[in-house]
Structure 1
Amino acid sequence: MQIAGSTALVTGANRGLGRHFAEQLLERGATVYAAARNPASVDIPGAIPVQLDVTDRGSIAAAAELARNVSLLINNAGSFTGVSLVDGDRSDIELEMNTHYYGPLDVIRAFAPQLAKHDSSAILNVLSVLSWVTFPGYTGYSAAKSAAWSLSNGVRLELASQNTQVSALHVGFMDTEMVSHVDAPKSDPAAVARLALNGLEAGDLEILADELSGTVRANLAGGVATLYPPSA
């Protein structure tokens, strides 16, 4: 996927990792639609603000009508409620699933016809190391990201015939507002965006942004006992 000369749409582009994606895409020569629930919050010079709420199919359809000639779609918009699966508020679980699974699915379905008009096109889904492993306090979020991983694999197969590359970014904690409450090592979101875009241009289908993601990925073959070793 060549970024220079492409037309990209980034969801959740008004802050955090999404903002870095939009800025770096512009630097690499792309036309950028910067999508956010409140387009007035997009203040990136050169970007085209677009109203898009990934949990609202009407909003998605309107964005697909407004943003034309898209050849690169980055599903970045996220949420984190901290909800638990067993006793958490069901509405929070649904929000996580709507944001991380149904939302990207609906966005992909809306923009797939535009992507198909290009000789080559691409989708980048921002996932997480929590697509593969979970911890207390992250079970609801992790379930939604696991679903998004399966979504990425599924649409990759279904869109292969139209030459749409589908890549997935796995990353641990980043230094963004969404996880400002977490006391743990965090990656620089600008560096993550740069690595992800490099991987996208290289044709990588799975992009690991940090050491934690690489370690967990390597341990998947060891099964549950390796991912969740019994405490001493």
Structure 2
Amino acid sequence: MELKGAVAVVTGANRGLGRQLAVQLVERGAKVYAAARRPGTVDVPGAVPLALDITDPESVRAAACDASDATLLVNNAGISTAAALIGGDLEAVRREMETNFFGPLATTRAFAPVIEANGGGTVLNVLSVLSWLHPAGLGSYAASKAAAWAQTDAVREELAPRGITVSALHVGYMDTDMAAGVPADQKADPADVAAQAVAAIEQGLTEVLADDVSRYVKQSLSAAPEAA
């Protein structure tokens, strides 16, 4: 996909990886709608702030109307509640699934006809190494990302005839607010991850493994689960 002249919508673009993605897309010559629940918190030079709460159907519909020239959707917004599936708060589990699975599904459903009408383009879903690795302490987050991975694969097949490429970005810990408690030497630089994602969009890749952890875990998927 040619990024110069493309029109991108990046969700969760007010901080972390989303902000880096928006910045780098602007640098590549794309028009960028930097979406956030509070657009006043967006500070990406050259980007157009866009109000978008991916868990609010009316907000999603309004954003698709406001960004009716979009050719690229980056589903980056997400949350982590650190809820366990058995011992954790069930409402936190539901909130995580609403944001990490149903939110990207809602935005993709809303923007797919927009992108198709504009001649086709790309959807990039920001996933996680926890799409494949499911520790008990992060059971809710891992379940939501595993579901989002399945969504990505199914939607890729569904949207291909409409001229829309669907790609998945997998990464372990990044140096963002979500991983604030993780030692620095275990975290990837969001700017580097964003650069890999942007290059993958340009090349039309359907999967990006952005760090050694995600590459190792993906290669280990055929192994039997360990006993407790």
Query: What is the deviation of 1:178?
Result: 1.1
Query: What is the deviation of 1:2?
Result: 1.4
Q: Which amino acid aligns with 2:178?
A: M
Q: Which amino acid aligns with 1:181?
A: G
Provide the residue aligned with 2:198 in structure 1: 197
Provide the residue aligned with 1:143 in structure 2: 143
Provide the residue aligned with 1:134 in structure 2: 134
Q: Which amino acid aligns with 1:194?
A: A
Provide the residue aligned with 1:102 in structure 2: 102
In 2, Cα distance between equivalents of 1:114 and 1:58: 16
Q: Which amino acid aligns with 2:136?
A: P
In 2, Cα distance between equivalents of 1:218 and 1:76: 24
Misfit runs of 4+, over 3 Å = none
Query: What is the deviation of 1:117?
Result: 1.7
Q: Contact 2:85–2:136 at 8 Å: present in 1 too?
A: no
Question: Identical aligned pairs, as a percentage?
Answer: 49
Partner-residue secondary structure (3-state), 1:123: strand
Provide the residue aligned with 2:173 in structure 1: 173
Provide closer, same or farther for how the CA distance between residues 119 and 219 of structure 1 changes in structure 2, counting only shifts above 3 A. same
In 1, Cα distance between equivalents of 2:214 and 2:178: 19
Provide the residue aligned with 2:215 in structure 1: 214
In 1, Cα distance between equivalents of 2:85 and 2:2: 41
- Give a deviation string over 1:41-90, Cα, whole Å, max 9, x none: 00111110011011111111111111121000000001010000002111
Partner-residue secondary structure (3-state), 1:95: helix
In 2, Cα distance between equivalents of 1:162 and 1:136: 39
In 1, Cα distance between equivalents of 2:217 and 2:118: 35
Query: What is the deviation of 1:222?
Result: 2.2
Q: Which amino acid aligns with 2:166?
A: V
Provide the residue aligned with 2:58 in structure 1: 58
Structure 2 unmatched runs, 5+: none
In 2, Cα distance between equivalents of 1:28 and 1:123: 17
Q: Which amino acid aligns with 1:125?
A: N
Query: What is the deviation of 1:215?
Result: 0.5
Q: Which amino acid aligns with 1:201?
A: E
Partner-residue secondary structure (3-state), 1:32: strand
Query: What is the deviation of 1:5?
Result: 0.8
Structure 1 unmatched runs, 5+: none
Provide the residue aligned with 2:36 in structure 1: 36
1:188 aligns with 2:189: yes
Q: Which amino acid aligns with 1:219?
A: S
- Give a deviation string over 1:175-232, Cα, whole Å, max 9, x none: 00111012360000000000111112111101000001000100112232xxx3x58x
Provide the residue aligned with 1:113 in structure 2: 113
Cα root mean square deviation, aligned: 1.1
Partner-residue secondary structure (3-state), 1:222: coil
In 2, Cα distance between equivalents of 1:91 and 1:136: 17
Partner-residue secondary structure (3-state), 1:175: coil
Q: Which stretch of the first structure deviates more once superposed, 19-28 or 87-96?
A: 87-96
Partner-residue secondary structure (3-state), 1:122: strand
Partner-residue secondary structure (3-state), 1:93: helix
Query: What is the deviation of 1:4?
Result: 1.1
Q: TM-score, normalised by structure 2?
A: 0.97
Partner-residue secondary structure (3-state), 1:221: coil
Partner-residue secondary structure (3-state), 2:125: strand
Partner-residue secondary structure (3-state), 2:137: coil
Q: TM-score, normalised by structure 1?
A: 0.95
Provide closer, same or farther for how the CA distance between residues 119 and 65 of structure 1 changes in structure 2, counting only shifts above 3 A. closer
Q: Contact 2:61–2:110 at 8 Å: present in 1 too?
A: yes
In 2, Cα distance between equivalents of 1:7 and 1:38: 21
Provide the residue aligned with 2:13 in structure 1: 13
